[in-house]
Chain A
Amino acid sequence: MVNPIYILVIALFTAFLLPVFDKMGRKYSLGLFFISLAAIFDITLQLAWQSYNGVLKANIFTAGSIPPFSINLRIGGIETFLITTINFGALLAAIYLIPKFNEQKVYAMMLFLTLIAGVNGLILTRDIFNVFVWLEITSISLYALIGIRQNHKSLEAGFKYIIASGLASAFLLLGIIFVYRLTGNLNIDMIAASNTLLVTKGGLTALFLIVIAFLIELKPFPANGWALDVYQAAEPGVSAMVASIVAAGFLYVFYKLIPLLPIYWFDILILMGMLTFVFSNITALKQKNAQRLLGYSSIAQMGLLVAVLLIIKRFPLHNDLPYNLIYIAGALFLNHFLAKAGLFWLAGIIKKDKISDWSLKGNPTLVIIFAFFVFALVGLPPFPGFWAKWVLINRLAQYNLIGWIIPIVIGSLLEATYLLRWFGSAVKQEAAEPVKLPLHKIIPASIAALALIMIYPAFANSLVNTRIIFQIPLLALAMMAILNFLPFRLQGILMIAALTFFGWYIFPLAEGIVKIFEFIFIGGGIVISIVSLNTNIKRQGYYEFLLMLILSLAFIPLAKTTLEFFLVWEYMTISSWLLVLRGKNGEKPALIYILFSLAAALMILTGFALSFAETGSTSLQYLRFLRHYALPVYILLAAGFLVKAAAVGLHIWLPGAYAEAEDEISPVFSGMMSKIALWGFIMLMGIMGTRALGIFEISNLLGWIGVITAFAGALMAVFQEDIKYLLAYSSMSQLGYMILSVAMLSHLGWTTALYMSVTHLFFKGMLFIAVAGLVSRVGTTKMYEMGGLIKKMPVTFISVLIAIIAVSGVPPLSGFGGKWLLYTALLEKGWFLQAGLSFFAGAIAFLYLFRLIHTIFLGQLKAKYREVKEASLWYLIPQVIFIGAIMAVSTFPNLILKPIMAAVDTQFTSSINWEGYKVITTLGYWNGNAVMIITMGVFMVPLIWLLSRVRMVQKVEQFNIVYAAERPERPETTHFAYNFFSHYQKAMGFLVNGQVSNFWNSVSEWFHSISSMVRHIYTGNSQTYALHIIIYIVIVYTLLGVN
């Protein structure tokens, strides 16, 4: 085997050799520099290979004798993993820094090598004094490297680092001296083996001094002002190393020290880590500087890692310690290592200090790289951070450490907030000048990004619970990205073909209720996607995310385990978020949307974790066996689904996301994606039924939430001037009815919910498509700017007409079936007041529906729209398909009612009888077919009469109306449209005056205020920072109860 000591030898030796070579020319010294780095990396690779084959010798004794008489190195699995990672990182970092090496004196390279030697040494050595030596080597190299930028800020930052690090070193050295005095030993393992040390006060103090030194080096909140200045002021390439390579060394030393610590210290130290995680993320909220922001994020991640390492050591579960280490700490570390280094490099490429100046639009390479890093840090799949988060939360629940889940969840959300906000603003902003992409910078960043996604299979494969087909959404994304060179329309056709094929493949596999949902997702997906064919102008990412979204939706009902469910759920979240972000004004709505979605996802994750903790299984079906955690799991999952369903109070993401997404995407959101929340409830209640919450049944509570959502959504829709916002609120309202129906937990209730979800796809899909066609012609979404378009766009008018009749529930169209089923089910269930309120909500729907059709198509035509044409055929085809579907199910309700009832029969016993087309319940009956025929009959009679009486009709001019014998001046003044229901606003508007938005705005405001407040401690004064460190040490000393 290769002796790892050569790593240290090569690094140090080359460092001393470099000046000699530099005399021959920079080319030679640079060459030697890279050869040595490559050689080091080669050694680590060999070690890794040996480790993989299990032939690696663990202990290396130097100086030919065993400890304690000499220093020994250890190279086990973890060490191999770490040095491979850091030396790989070092190689990339060196590539990034090539121009710096060229312009600086040779010392830069030397420092780089000594730094690498130092970190490797920190990781390998088992001797505590040797740790101190490597720490000093690392720190001294780093002070100088920080100054490489040679402006006063970076020099100042380097100086602050010297002070902080000097303090830490002083404590460390003192600690080591005491330890040696007490144990007569410097070998960490031997110290750990001797218990004598831990029992005395002196021993504890000594240990404390050692531990606190490394804690300080890991930059704990709030004693980390110096580190932030370093991150901000240093050359990005150096900051990247501080955040990744150097941090790795310190972190591992801390890990080595953990066995020495008394058990009662752990909780306090975990708390310190968690505080760092949460508060660094909070402080980052207000941060405008890119590098400093990344600094906060790095510090937060280190805090989390410290906490996680302690937790793993504190609560070893059976024999799966390595499993936890690899899957949680390893994945978290790797995720952070690559993503953070990559982000610093990216900062070096963009060269914009302020994050608001970042503009990546039109630069797909940078956008993709940026996306990879940010998504990885946020913990989205398929990046390692996702798996780490999954296993971590599951394990925490299993250890019964539920309290620690809360700071992790809050911190993660805060981190997602500023990272995704940054991402959103960067990709939406048009670059003022083209960004230069120097090769030496883009290569390391791209490799880091690639590594992030390549490592993923290593984790996914070992998680045996995920069937490989659940990666299809991701593969579809990749496939569409590869096909991006094709003409845009062809891509669309291929996408529809792929969906059709997929439907043909998946449909026979689905059973019962799942089949209904597959019909909505795949069938709806195919029809709605036709709209996208209207243009051949390329749109980056459009089909990629659309296909990924539809497939994710289709996979969610197929999930059998919690992990499968959560994985595709996250795929859905990402793809839909990116689709919102693609919208013209999508930046802000996309951010709100993703934050709510992530919060929902975290709640679902926690629910699943609790279920795993109790049942020990990830099978979704095992939810039914829950006893102890049944209530919290139920509440967490239901809350997650309520967010997705945009239940009242949690709905503020919905209007923006639906309305600001591209016009072709909105029907997918409303017609299809909204139903996934319904599936969530069906799954949850199908498995767990209902639970009692104090004196309430949860299902009862959900029913009320549903009906209030229906009411509030309808009321808000009434007051919208923007057609897409109107439809978005209308969707919210309709979803409310569906939640209400599912919550009934009865045959009739579920039949209602499914019937509504299918018909809602038809009419809301159609409405959004009609609107898309309309907007493509008139170029505005403000309804009052339109008017009188019936003659210009007759087909669109007809589909809107049919849709609004269907939505409103007026017979004979299919919407009445939904209303009838709903009221019958509610009365059968005994939910009388809910029935009253839903009737009211249904009546309010008339207001916005009439307004929708009137202000757009009726009334007075504006002069500028005299020449408007009907929407293009691509918009009309799906509308006609949906009209056909509505007419079919209206005339023959059995077409969908029978399969739905058959599906629901598997859950509940039916209370419904059939007589031909007549549906009979215990309360009433409805014959859709007869209603249709009678309606047609009573419609035809007066129509024929009128046609026979009114002949030779001449169409009159626009202003030929009874107008006090005057001619109206302009259509704008005659078209009654703006603030159409002002009297309703006066009477009812106070109910929806933005109370919910205000609440969430103030939540955001609180966090930002805390952020500003906390930031005040970072004065930039190095004396203050030193004081922070001292105070921190005193506080931790007291908390740990050392004396």
Chain B
Amino acid sequence: MEHGLFISIIYAFISLSVATIWGLLLGGIALKVVARAHGRFGPPVWQPIIDIIKNNARRTSISHGIMYFLGPVFRIAGGMGTFLFIPFIFGSSVFGNFSFAGDLFLVMYFIFFGQLGMALGAGESGHPYSAIGVARGLSQMTAFELPFALSVISLVIQYGTLNITSIVAAQQGGLLSWTLFTNPLATIAALISLQGMNMHNPFSIVIAPQEIPIGPPTEYHSNFLGLLQTNRGLFNIAKLALFMNLYFGGATNIAVMILKTFLLYMLTIFIGASFPRFRTEQSIRFFLGVPTVIGILAVIVIAYL
């Protein structure tokens, strides 16, 4: 660690707060966009922030058990951990986070930490919708991870490192040195995966509002839900930051970060707003089809051509 422990924690706190607030706002914007696409007016963009304040202010006296109780904790710890292992803003010591602990693979696997814990917590509630949602979510996850993994492998071959900071450093020096342009196939494969990761249409079967209320978190309420919603904002930013770093040249200051994550997010929102929903097996087949082939091509092109 370059700084003292205390300073690191302060920096991490700042970094987390910025990310969470921006993430929640992005969520609000998304709601707005979707509403407009539906011809509705939609809630204000700060609605998610109001929601978490409201939910966290509420008290509950109901719990289904220890694992149920720990579920949201796992979830947000997963979100925080994932975020903290990613260098948020290139060259910034405040937003450098704890990326010294591990490389790209650590981030990719830490994403599972929260999902697994949350799935377990939801499971203990005993609600069948939770289990159904988790089964769908996990199945879909395996499928979209494949093109993403191939894309990352292609990147590692390209840059010869697993270190996210080094990958960002290699993309400095103009628009054309971004991975988007130097390795378009990998970027395309990863962006399709991102759509699945964000569970936007056509890959929203996991939370499928009309069928299984909201999937895994069905039984969560008040504080629990508050934590989950907070995580939704933070985790969104973590993913976007990862993609920004890997494919879009990273960010050297907050403004660039906000712009890039905004555009990236809007891409998935627009696609989401304009597509209907896949069934689980359809989305599995989809991801294992064209996106995987693109991923394989990305690897082959970079490695052997």
| A, B from the same assembly | yes
Determine if A956 is an interface residue (Cβ-Cβ < 8 Å).
yes
Asked if B62 lies at the interface with its beta carbon under 8 angstroms from chain A, I say yes
CB atoms of A950 and B160 under 8 A apart: no
List which B121-148 residues lie within 8 A (CB) of chain A. 123-128, 131-132, 134-136, 138-139, 141-143, 145-146
> Does chain A have a CB within 8 A of B223?
yes
A851-B218 Cα distance, complex, nearest whole Å = 19
B residues near A977, Cβ cutoff 8 Å: 131
Q: Specify which chain A residues have a CB less than 8 angstroms from the CB of B295 in the assembled complex.
A: 836
Decide: B101 and A946 in contact? CB cutoff 8 A. Answer: no
Residues on the B chain within 8 Å of A860, using CB = 126
* B63 with A858: CB separation less than 8 A: no
A836 touches B153 (CB 8 A): yes
Answer yes or no: A188 CB below 8 A from chain B CBs.
no
Give the contacts of A945-978 with B (CB-CB under 8 A): 945-946, 949-956, 958-963, 974-977
Is A853's CB within 8 Å of the partner chain B? yes
A847 touches B279 (CB 8 A): no
Residue among A790, A810, A942, A959 making CB contact with B113, cutoff 8 Å: A810
CA distance A924 to B138 in the complex (A): 28
| B61: Cβ under 8 A from any A Cβ | yes
CB distance from B142 to the nearest CB of A (A): 4
Is A824 positioned at the interface, with any CB of B under 8 Å from its CB? yes
**Complex interface: chain A residues within 8 A of B77 (CB):** 935, 938-939, 941-943
Q: Quick check: is A846 within 8 A (CB to CB) of the other chain?
A: yes
A808 adjacent to chain B (CB < 8 Å): yes
Interchain CB contact under 8 A, B299 and A938: no
Contact between chains at A976 and B61 (CB < 8 Å) = no
In the complex, what's the smallest C-beta–C-beta distance from B216 to chain A, in angstroms?
11
Residue of A791, A858, A943 with most partner-chain B CB within 10 A? A858
Per-position binary interface string of chain B over residues 271-289, scored 1 when its CB falls under 8 Å from any chain A CB and 0 otherwise: 0000000011100110010
Q: Are A843 and B142 in contact (CB under 8 A)?
A: yes
Instruction: Write the chain A residue with the least CB distance to B159.
Output: A923
Tell me the minimal C-beta distance from A1026 to chain B in angstroms: 67
Q: How many residues of B contact A (CB 8 A)?
A: 80
Total number of residue pairs linking A and B with CB closer than 8 Å: 245
Kindly state the separation between the CA atoms of A931 and B81 in the bound complex, as whole angstroms. Answer: 9
> In the assembled complex, which residues on chain B have CB atoms less than 8 Å from the CB atom of A840?
142, 145-146, 149
**Residue picked from B74, B103, B136, B279, most chain A C-beta under 10 Å:** B103
Question: Across the interface, which residues of A come within 8 angstroms of B96, CB to CB?
Answer: none
Partner of A810, one of B72, B110, B126: B110
| Chain A neighbourhood of B285, CB < 8 A | 987
Whether, in the assembled complex, A816 has its beta carbon less than 8 Å from a beta carbon of chain B, the answer is yes
Q: CB of B270 within 8 A of chain A?
A: no
Interface residues in B24-68 by Cβ distance below 8 A to A read 56, 59-67
Provide the A816-847 mask, 1 if CB < 8 A to any CB of B, else 0.
Answer: 10011001100100101101100110011011
**Is B105 close to A, CB under 8 A?**
yes
Q: What is the CA–CA distance of A976 and B128 in the complex, to the nearest angstrom?
A: 5
**A846 to B, closest residue via Cβ:** B138
Residues of A within 8 A of B84 (CB): 934, 938
Q: Which residues of A contact B102 (CB under 8 A)?
A: 811, 820, 924-927, 930-931
A81 is an interface residue with CB less than 8 A from chain B: no
The SS class assigned to the A binding surface is helix
A575 vs B80: C-alpha distance in the bound complex, in angstroms?
51
A49 at the interface (CB under 8 A from B): no
Distance between A988 CB and nearest chain B CB, rounded to angstroms: 7
Is the CB of B182 closer than 8 A to any CB of chain A? no
Say yes or no: A858 contacts B124, CB within 8 Å: yes
Q: Is A846 touching B142 in the complex (CB atoms < 8 A)?
A: yes
Known contacts A930-B101, A931-B106, A987-B281; A830/B146 CB under 8 A = no
B19 interface hit (Cβ, 8 Å): no
Residue B264, interface by CB 8 Å: no
Q: Tell whether, in the assembled complex, residue B131 and residue A976 are in contact, meaning their CB atoms are under 8 Å apart.
A: yes
Q: A824 CA to B163 CA in the complex, in Å?
A: 12
| Chain B residues with CB under 8 A of A942 | 72-73, 76-77, 80, 227
B241 beta carbon closer than 8 Å to chain A: no
CA distance A790 to B160 in the complex (A): 45
Closest-by-CB residue of A relative to B285 is A987
Using CB atoms, name the residue of chain B closest to A834.
B153
Given A833-B299, A983-B279, does the pair A961, B127 have CB atoms closer than 8 Å?
yes
Contact assessment for A949 and B223 in the assembled complex, using a CB-CB cutoff below 8 Å:
yes
B61, B101, B110, most chain A CB atoms within 10 A? B101
Q: Is B248 an interface residue (CB 8 A)?
A: no
A501 within 8 A of B: no
Task: Verify B113–A811 contact, CB threshold 8 A.
Answer: yes
B156 within 8 A of A: yes
Q: A840-B142, A934-B81, A935-B77 are in contact. Are A943 and B70 (CB under 8 A)?
A: yes
Contact flags A669-688 to B (C-beta < 8 A → 1, else 0): 00000000000000000000
B residues 213-259 in Cβ contact with A at 8 Å: 213, 218-219, 223-224, 227
Which residues of chain B come closer than 8 Å to A833, judged between CB atoms? 296, 299
CB neighbours (8 Å) of B134 from chain A are 850, 854
Is the beta-carbon distance between B81 and A938 smaller than 8 angstroms? yes
Hey, what's the 0/1 contact readout for A359-383 against B, CB within 8 Å counting as 1? 0000000000000000000000000
Set B119, B124, B227, B303: member contacting A790, Cβ < 8 A: B124
A809 within 8 A of B: yes
In angstroms, how far is the closest chain B Cβ from the Cβ of A86? 68
List the B side residues contacting A951 at CB < 8 Å.
59, 61
CB neighbours (8 Å) of A931 from chain B are 101-102, 106
Quick check: is A6 within 8 A (CB to CB) of the other chain?
A: no
Central interface residue in B102, B104, B132, B218, by most chain A CB within 10 Å: B102
Of A819, A923, A962, A974, which is within 8 A of B162 by CB?
A923
CB distance from A560 to the nearest CB of B (A): 40
A950 CB, nearest partner CB in chain B, Å:
5
Q: List the B side residues contacting A836 at CB < 8 Å.
A: 146, 149-150, 153, 295-296, 299
User: Is residue B109 contacting chain A, with contact meaning CB distance below 8 A?
Assistant: yes
Residue A981 is within 8 A (CB to CB) of chain B in the complex: yes
**Bound complex: CA of A983 vs CA of B203, how far in Å?**
14
Asked whether any CB of chain B lies closer than 8 Å to the CB of A572, the reply is no
- Measured between beta carbons, the chain B residues less than 8 angstroms from A935 are 77, 81, 113
Chain A residue with the shortest CB-CB distance to B157:
A832
CA distance A840 to B101 in the complex (A): 24
List B contacts of A987 (CB < 8 A).
139, 143, 280-281, 284-285, 288
Name B141-189 residues within 8 Å CB distance of A: 141-143, 145-146, 149-150, 153-154, 156-157, 160-163
Residues of A within 8 A of B60 (CB): 950, 953
A49 vs chain B, min Cβ distance (A):
74
Which A residues are in CB contact (< 8 Å) with B104? 924
Which one of A816, A930, A953 contacts B61 once the chains associate, using CB atoms below 8 Å?
Answer: A953
A73: Cβ under 8 A from any B Cβ: no
| Residues of B with C-beta under 8 A to A823 | 105
Contact A858 B218 (CB under 8 A): no
Q: Is the CB of A843 within 8 A of B141?
A: yes
Given contacts A927-B102, A934-B98, A942-B73, A859 and B126 within 8 Å (CB-CB) = yes
Residues of A within 8 A of B (CB): 788, 790-791, 797, 801, 804-805, 808-811, 816, 819-820, 823-824, 827, 830, 832-833, 835-836, 839-840, 843-844, 846-847, 850-851, 853-854, 858-860, 918, 922-927, 930-931, 934-935, 938-939, 941-943, 945-946, 949-956, 958-963, 974-977, 980-981, 983-984, 986-988
Starting from the known contacts A836-B153, A840-B149, A983-B284, 5 additional A-B residue pairs (CB-CB under 8 Å) come to: A811-B102, A835-B153, A846-B116, A931-B106, A935-B81
**A-B contacts, 8 listed (Cβ < 8 Å):** A809-B112, A810-B109, A836-B149, A918-B100, A942-B76, A960-B62, A975-B128, A980-B131
Residues of chain B at the chain A interface (Cβ within 8 Å): 56, 59-67, 69-70, 72-74, 76-77, 80-81, 84-85, 98, 100-106, 109-110, 112-113, 116, 119-120, 123-128, 131-132, 134-136, 138-139, 141-143, 145-146, 149-150, 153-154, 156-157, 160-163, 213, 218-219, 223-224, 227, 279-281, 284-285, 288, 295-296, 299, 303
Which 5 residue pairs are nearest across A and B when measured between Cβ atoms?
A: A924-B162, A858-B123, A924-B103, A983-B280, A839-B149
